[in-house]
Amino acid sequence: MTTRTDRYVTRRISDKVASVLSAAAVVAALLPLVALLSYVAIRGFRALTPALFTELPAPATGGGGIANAVVGTVELVALASLMGIPVGVLAGLFLAEYRDSVLARAVRFCADVLAGIPSILVGVVVYATVVVGMKRFSGLAGAVSLAILMLPLVTRTTDELARTVPESLREAAIALGAPRWRIALQVILRTAAPGIRGGVMLAVARVCGETAPLLFTAFDNDFWTTSPLEPTSTMQVRIFFYTLSPRDDRHGQAWAAALVLVALVMILHAVSRRLSRDPRSSS
Amino acid sequence: MAMGVSRTTSPAPAPPARADDRDPARLPIATADRAFEALGAACAILLGLVLVGVTAAVLLLARPSIARFGAAFVVGRTWDPVSGELGALPFLYGTAVTSAVALVLAVPVGLGVALFQSDLGPPALRRPIGVVVDLLAAIPSVVYGLWGALVLAPVLREIVEPALETYLGSLALFRGPKLGLGLLCAGLVLAIMILPTIATIAREVLRAVPTELREGGLALGATRWEVVRRIVLPHARSGITGAVLLGFGRAVGETMAVAMVVGSRAEIGSSLFAPGYTLSSVLANEFSHATSELHVAALAELGLILFVVSLAFNVGARLLVARAARRATSTTAMVAPR
């Protein structure tokens, strides 16, 4: 009799222990996040001055800002989006339209593999082609590598979401005599649009913070760039170089840049969540 | 005037051209369709081309190094770009050690978080925890590097490493000069960075385990933990293995944060406190100012190794996760035929 109660108690205890341990794991995961975000917020705010956004990096004397890097990040991400989003969406629509063809399967596999390879390798490739071809580092090369990183994400989101569009809608459009391209763009794409916009935003957010492929494509620049064919400074690369610098004011600017970058990524994530919410289902 | 002319004259020649056609509406549509299809196909093929391009470019750049060193490159212990004696072993070692440290720390925590969300935690907390994990994944790598180098490394140097040496100093791993920046620091930062990968994928795999199986266990009087241990985990094993492999693949490829905290020295020591180097971080640091052709080639060959390793882990992990998903659906069909 007692042994049965004992066993019951041990079972109850091991159940509780497991729950506590998994809650402890959640705390262990939260801890670094809180530590990191609070450091970025506190040290970033301390170094956040108007000069940061209006002045160029000052040589050796201290002070100055990273205005060109802020603009550079936005410029590169915008250029990359211009290249990556249309190509990715079209490729995704194609994959969904010919979902079971050999080509579609092969491309889907390639996209998954491409999404998994280290981003620095994309930088190596763009270096070997665009940078060596143009014989100089350039913002364009940086944008190309970011676009390549966006491509598999955008393609797969579009593909997945386009495939969830009900067959009846497509059939209705066919019955009305709509050509295939109009079905793809005006029925499939439009129906799946909220989710696709959300997925695209996530892809943009992801490349916003990408640094490794920019190191030897866009490189860095202490001055304003007048064209995407020149080396272009970005916040990400600045954070990298400033962290390695021994100077405290550089560290401060790195924290401030990190704060701006994290805020940018968070905003894009929030926008993405907003967009993916289907306007019809929320009301 | 010109507008008026074009407006009145252009429809005039058009009808005869259309009248020649047997099916007046179809031709332009078919052309547009074919053009659209070709455009889509071109975009899709571009993706494949990029992948081929990565392989080709890395191979091409690496050729001089492959020709010069051959297989000895992989076991060469010296990395001296000036003398031209270049070997990959310190980077393989650094990558293996940092990734292993990351896995040892991140796998239990990631699994715990995933189980909290799938089975053990209060339902009201499950979603917010998911958002937090997503947040952890959203923070850029350089920001982790910045925090690791300026905050975590001093803490390691002053507090954690001396404590480890006091209590575990009998192991060579936890002895030696304490610099903060080093393999341990990189492993720790990597653990934080791969945690969301492991937690998210494990959560999806666990959620895919059919509810009927859980309910069956609970109906037989099992506690939640018993259901997890005897039913859910065995059922999700291959998927969880996949999650761990993906985490490992991510740790191997992670570049910026590691480059900022690993200490950047191509050495093989016995201590975790020692500075080291990894395949990806040496590319980040040296590729842009490598001047000699051999140096570039050797770096590219390191990239090639990185490519092959991360490819193997990614493909293997994806296959495992896909198999887990298939198994889950087939079991549902078996348990509850609809």
Tens digit of pLDDT for each residue in B134-191? Answer: 889 999 999 999 999 999 999 999 999 899 988 988 888 888 888 889 999 999 999 9
Any CB–CB contact under 8 A between B33 and chain A?
Answer: yes
Cα gap B230→B253, rounded to integer Å: 34
Q: Which residue numbers in chain A have pLDDT < 50? A: 282-283
Q: What is the mean pLDDT of residues B301-320?
A: 91
Residue B8 has pLDDT above 50, yes or no: no
**Predicted pLDDT at A73:** 94
| The dihedral formed by the CA atoms of A177, A183, A188 and A189, expressed in degrees to the nearest 10 | -150
**Predicted pLDDT at B290:** 84
**Predicted pLDDT at A278:** 61
Within 10 angstroms of residue A281's Cβ, the number of other Cβ atoms is 7
With the C-alpha atoms ordered A104, A107, A113, A114, is the resulting torsion angle positive or negative?
A: negative
Which has more confidence, B204 or B14?
A: B204
Q: What is the mean pLDDT of residues B28-43?
A: 85
- How near does any CA of chain A get to the CA of B47, in Å? 6
Q: How does DSSP classify residue B86? A: E
- How near does any CA of chain A get to the CA of B232, in Å? 14
The full DSSP string for B252-279 is: HH--HHHHHHS-------S-SSS----H
Q: Which of B57, B93, B39, B96 is nearest to B252 (CA)?
A: B96
Residues in chain A within 8 Å Cβ distance of B115? 18, 22, 25
pLDDT band at B13 (very low <50, low <70, confident <90, very high): very low
pTM of the entire predicted model: 0.89
pLDDT band at B37 (very low <50, low <70, confident <90, very high): confident
Of A116, A125, A212, the CB nearest to B249: A116
Of B39, B45, B135, the CB nearest to A33: B135
Interface touch B61/A128, C-beta < 8 Å:
yes
Any CB–CB contact under 8 A between B96 and chain A?
Answer: no
Residue B16 has pLDDT above 80, yes or no: no
Any CB–CB contact under 8 A between B32 and chain A?
Answer: yes
Residue B12 has pLDDT above 50, yes or no: no
Read off the tokens for A75.
């410029």
Residue B331 has pLDDT above 70, yes or no: no
**Predicted pLDDT at A65:** 86
- How near does any CA of chain B get to the CA of A47, in Å? 15
pLDDT band at B295 (very low <50, low <70, confident <90, very high): very high
- How near does any CA of chain A get to the CA of B336, in Å? 24
Residues in chain B within 8 Å Cβ distance of A29? 109-110, 113, 132-133, 136, 195, 199
Considering only residues 66 to 85 of chain B, which have any Cβ-Cβ distance to chain A shorter than 8 Å?
none
- The half-sphere exposure of B97 on its side-chain side, counting CA atoms within 13 A, is 26
Spatial CB neighbours of A219, under 8 Å, sequence gap ≥ 6: A137, A142, A231, A232, A237, B288
Predicted complex ipTM: 0.91
pLDDT band at B329 (very low <50, low <70, confident <90, very high): low
